Chains A and B, each alone.
Chain A
Amino acid sequence: MNIHVEARNVVKRFGPTVALNGAKIAIAEGETHALVGRNGAGKSTLVSILTGLQRPDEGEVLFSGEAAPALADRDAWRQRVACVYQKSTIIPALTVAENLFLNRQTERPGPIDWRALRARARELLDTYEVDVDAHVLAGDLSVEQRQLVEIARALSFGARFIILDEPTARLDGPAIERLFARMRSLREQGVTMMYISHHLDEVYEICQSVTVFRDARHIATRPVADLPHDELVAAMTGEATAAYASRSRTPGDRVVLSGEGLSLAGRYTDIDISVKSGEVVGLAGSASSGKVGLAETLVGLRKADAGTVTVNGTQVRPGDVPAAMKAGLGFVPEDRHHEGIIPLLSVGENATFPIARKLGRYGIVSPTRRRAKAEQMIEILDIKTEGADQPVGDLSGGNAQKVVFARALVDDPTVLVVINPTAGVDVKAKQALLGAVEDAVDRGAGAVVVSDELDDLRICDRVLVMFHGRVVKDVPRGWTDHELVAVMEGIED
């Protein structure tokens, strides 16, 4: 077995923080190798070292046994390693063709021949079987299409080693399946891959070996087949953690949230939903099912074309978030970066926005009372922060999401709507967040959980499966993954 890519004893410091401390990884030729670890374990730093964006303070990187090229020699790096980064490196205002050949639009000096460029782009897209028009603007593509374009571009430099940094984070179920099919066919062509993901089931599905990093160190490298799930989680967290056990409960009789006859053109049609006190209702479905649109209507972020939403007995004016919140609703929006947090403001301010009016009179917010409330939330949700005054932008993904939860929970809501609550957070934070939902429900709230992750839906007393804008099935607790996915994909009804 030839080692294609190897990093030995890599040390990387950023000021006082040690991001990698004697870390190592060895990836055999032609395998798909997973790199897992909690947030802050050093995965991203290793990616930037393996792609030649940063120089390790100590240690070395080898490609097929040879020392890595000099940092300035970008072309040499690109011939050895390709990377699809977590953050999109597509420029939306340019066409797909130009994105594919950015900064190498011409093969020889002189003006750009746009026709020839499009032809080269089509050829490249055909080679990697990407069904996208070369002349459309990259900004008009779906997330999945953009990612495929990035993969094609990464491979077009001739690298036989490709790093995929959380590629599934923003894809829905079928798109993930298609990505995996593509990865398998690349593997058959002999391409070596390093795969980073928070989803351990994906690691089992697509990878042959796995390396675990924890606290900037290498913990273990094992063939995936020999590593049981709980051992892998234990290696990541440093302690034995059981899979999240959801609690059983009996829902009350009072309906706290209901939607009647809700329709929104292009999203969902004629939906009735009701959630009782002490009940968790899941909403599942593919990206085009309309589940997120429905949840956003329930909280008032979207205005339905028809139908009514009743929160805690009050009929809420459509599209009026403050009214819904006043009626006792708390929610966690889909994208924490866009709608969840204000990164420059402190943890305390972010967490207490909904109750600002209760923290003082005549529009004045009392800093002492805010701090007290914020500290209480930090303790309840176990937010790892230097204190209530730290800007949320400095926190890790999982802790930032906890702040979003704090905001949703701070007014002790009777209705809680959470959309993709555990997106981009690690195993332990995931459990804490799901626990927070169940705590609120134990206190008598009703909750709606919208998620692409089956694990999140396990806490639900029943799951409403949506397909093309309609609720097609009401699945009670005790479903299997296979059952639920089949309904979500519309294979079975």
Chain B
Amino acid sequence: MTTLTAPIPRVRLARFRDLTLVPVIVILLVVGAILDPTFLTAGNLTNVLQQQSAISLLVLAEAMILIAGKFDLSLESTVGTAPAIAVMMVIPVTAGGFGIALPGALAIPLALLIGAAIGAFNGFLIIRFQLSAFIVTLAMLIIVHGLLQGPTEGKTLFELPDSILYLGSATWLGLPAAIWIAGVLFAAGIFGLGYLRVGRALYAVGGNTDAARAAGIRVDRVLYGVFIVGGTLAALAGILETGRLGAIGNNMGVGWIFMVFAAAVIGGVSMDGGKGTILGALTGVLVIGLVQNILTLIGVSGFWQPVIYGGIILIALMISRIAGGKAQD
């Protein structure tokens, strides 16, 4: 009988599955260079990375949550709400604050704490009450965005403390700090999910919850963890975006979640849980960033860009499907 012999070494290629989008990135770089001479300059590429650094943190968060077999739509609302509420706790009433006037240095820790709290609340509803992650976070997407619009009454916050502007606008060693932060966090994510037991536990929980439980993994604790980390990363993304724009608009983060899912999924993270890597998700972010940049450089009207994004996402999906060989789920 042949059943006991191992499958052919085709699986060795599996370790390159993370990299199926690399050819797409190469093609985009070549196409970009041909279409516009400024594309391959250091200035432009830095610009691409900086623009993507905030959204990439959301992709990092969503990738972890998806790998653990859950779902979070509310991340995009946290992006605007967490820094906005934190800022309103430190600025004076005249600038639109609550009038608590806490020290300005607390803005960042407060924002991160608010993000973590939103994540914890999502986790509470989903894990403790066993509600559907999709519906819970859809409701939270609406509620959390409302918590930005309500207190600000739809106005943009302009007078911000210096502390919250710093990370998104500083330059460290010649590169924007936001790129360093995103880079370090992705490196930590790649390491954590690849080499730490707690990171591997996400795959176990997302792949087969019963098996994870039987192996002694504290499933609920792991899931709380990813939701809290997810919310915190979304708040950090909001802080970076705030620094980059210099203000907190009423629509900050709105609509990001579609791009976040697109980046994670074309990067090979399965919507069914248990599959995908952080490196893959990173390549997904880069593809989307490059496409956006090329479209802007060649002067495609902003009104037409969504059609092209959508098309490119579909093409990237098909390419990674063919390269990956397996049906996607």
Q: Which A residues are closer than 8 A to B by beta carbons?
A: 74-75, 85, 87-94, 98, 102-106, 111-112, 114, 131-133, 135-137, 140-142, 144-145, 174-175, 178, 287-288
Contact = CB atoms under 8 A, between A and B. Distances in A.
A104 to B, nearest CB: 8
B207 to A, nearest CB: 4
A344 to B, nearest CB: 15
A74 B7 contact: no
Interface string B3-47: 111110001101000000000000000000000000000000000
Given A90-B211, A106-B197, A112-B195, A142 B11 contact: no
B274 A135 contact: no
Given A135-B11, A136-B11, A137-B11, A102 B196 contact: no
B195 A94 contact: no
Given A102-B215, A136-B6, A144-B3, A89 B196 contact: no
A145 B215 contact: no
B274 A93 contact: yes
Contacts of A91: 203-204, 207-208, 211-212, 274
Interface string B211-229: 1101111000000000000
Contact of B6 (A103, A132, A288): A132
A131 B5 contact: yes
B92 to A, nearest CB: 48
A174 B200 contact: no
A133 B3 contact: no
Nearest to B11: A136
A145 B4 contact: yes
A87 B210 CA distance: 9
A103 B215 contact: yes
A136 B197 contact: no
B191 interface: yes
Nearest to A148: B4
Given A91-B203, A91-B211, A94-B204, A140 B11 contact: yes
Contacts of B7: 133, 136, 140-141
B274 A89 contact: no
Nearest to A78: B216
A98 B6 contact: no
Interface in B96-139: none
B204 A112 contact: no
A145 B1 CA distance: 13
A285 to B, nearest CB: 13
Contacts of B2: 288
Closest 5 CB pairs of A and B: A91-B207, A89-B211, A111-B195, A102-B215, A133-B6
Contacts of A85: 214
A90 B208 contact: yes
Contacts of A88: 208, 211
A140 B325 CA distance: 13
A245 B29 CA distance: 74
Interface of B: 1-7, 11-12, 14, 191, 194-197, 200-201, 203-204, 207-208, 210-212, 214-217, 270, 274-275
A105 B177 CA distance: 35
A479 B21 CA distance: 59
A341 B60 CA distance: 39
A76 B163 CA distance: 52
Nearest to B67: A93
B11 to A, nearest CB: 5
A94 B203 contact: yes
A253 to B, nearest CB: 41
Contacts of A141: 7
A131 B1 CA distance: 13
A74 B217 CA distance: 10
Contacts of A94: 200, 203-204, 207, 274
A93 B275 contact: yes
B10 to A, nearest CB: 9
B209 to A, nearest CB: 10
A391 to B, nearest CB: 19
Given A92-B274, A112-B200, 15 more contacts: A74-B216, A91-B274, A93-B207, A93-B274, A102-B215, A102-B217, A103-B212, A111-B191, A112-B197, A132-B4, A133-B7, A133-B11, A137-B11, A174-B1, A288-B3
A145 B274 contact: no
Nearest to A99: B211
A409 B197 CA distance: 52
Given A89-B211, A91-B204, A94-B207, A142 B197 contact: no
Contacts of A111: 191, 195-196
A103 B204 contact: yes
A178 B12 CA distance: 28
A175 B3 contact: yes
Given A74-B216, A103-B204, A175-B3, A89 B210 contact: yes
Contacts of B212: 91, 102-103
Nearest to B201: A103
A131 B203 CA distance: 25
Contacts of A133: 6-7, 11
Contacts of B216: 74-75, 103
Given A131-B6, A136-B11, A93 B203 contact: yes
Contacts of B201: 103
A63 to B, nearest CB: 19
Contacts of B196: 111-112
B197 A103 contact: yes
Given A93-B274, A131-B4, A144-B3, A98 B11 contact: no
A196 to B, nearest CB: 17
Nearest to B326: A139
22 contacts: A89-B210, A89-B211, A90-B208, A90-B211, A91-B208, A93-B270, A93-B274, A93-B275, A94-B203, A94-B204, A102-B200, A102-B217, A103-B197, A104-B215, A105-B197, A114-B195, A131-B6, A140-B11, A144-B4, A145-B4, A175-B1, A175-B3
A26 B210 CA distance: 28
Contacts of B217: 102-103
Contacts of A74: 216
A74 B201 CA distance: 17
Contacts of A142: 3
Nearest to B200: A105
A89 B11 contact: no
Nearest to A139: B207
A443 to B, nearest CB: 40
Which one of B5, B196, B197, B275 has the highest number of Cβ atoms from chain A below 10 Å of its Cβ?
B197
A106 B212 CA distance: 16
A90 B203 CA distance: 12
Contacts of A135: 11-12
A145 B3 contact: yes
A175 B191 CA distance: 40
